[in-house]
Structures are given as structure tokens and as C-alpha cells.
Amino acid sequence: MKDPAQEQSIMDEFVTADVLVVDDLGMGATTVYWCQLVQEILDRRAFADRGGLLVTSKYSLGALADKLQDDSISSRLAGLCSLIQIRGADGRLGSQPSLYNARSA
């Protein structure tokens, strides 16, 4: 585990980046700690009025809130971003249809 100063320095990089890209939000295991980190990054970017946020996810905002059992991250994303839905076949899966939500500032 990193010392608190190192962790804060890393968080600051996510917050102050000109463009922050989060790919496949909600994929993989999520923990309470992970949710707290993501929420802190989004909150601090919102407070600092940082644009340049692009988030992709296979989950709608509602489905993401259900998966995380909390709507705070979805709510913050809704306030920070414009929703663009991309429908069609997933190129990684061949011709199987899917729905992906791309979020951009």
C-alpha cells in the first residue's frame, strides 16, 4: 500500500488531467473503496470545473447505479456529461447486438 502522500499525488493527477478517459466503467469487481475513489475523482473534477471527461460503459446510468448499489456516481456523471448512446454489434463479439453508452463532456 502506498503512503497517503503518494495516494494523494496520484488522485491529483486524475483530477487535474486535461482529459480523463475512463473505459468500461463498471466492468470487473467493484468495492466500496473503488466507488469512493471514483466518486472523489468525479466530485473534485466537478468542483474544479474540469471538463474533458470521456466515460464508456456497457451500462446505462440506471444499470450502473443498480450494479454499484448506489446512484451517486451515476448522478455525478449525469451532471458532468452528455449521454451518447451507441447501438450496434460489438466488434469484439462479432455480430451479437449490444448497447454501449458513451459519456462525454
What gap in Å lies between CA 5 and CA 14, rounded to an integer?
15
Question: In this predicted structure, what is the pLDDT of residue 99?
Answer: 55
pTM for the full model?
Answer: 0.77
Weakly modelled stretches of the chain, pLDDT under 70: 1, 94-105
Q: Give the type of residue at 95.
A: S
Question: In this predicted structure, what is the pLDDT of residue 50?
Answer: 84
What gap in Å lies between CA 38 and CA 97, rounded to an integer?
29
Is the dihedral angle over the CA atoms 18, 31, 40, 63 positive or is it negative? Answer: positive
Question: In this predicted structure, what is the pLDDT of residue 105?
Answer: 43
Phi, psi angles (nearest 5°) of residue 81: -130, 165
Total domains, the chain: 1
**Mean predicted lDDT score pLDDT of the chain:** 86
Range of the domain at 42: 4-104
Give the pairing type, strands 82-89 and 53-57.
unpaired
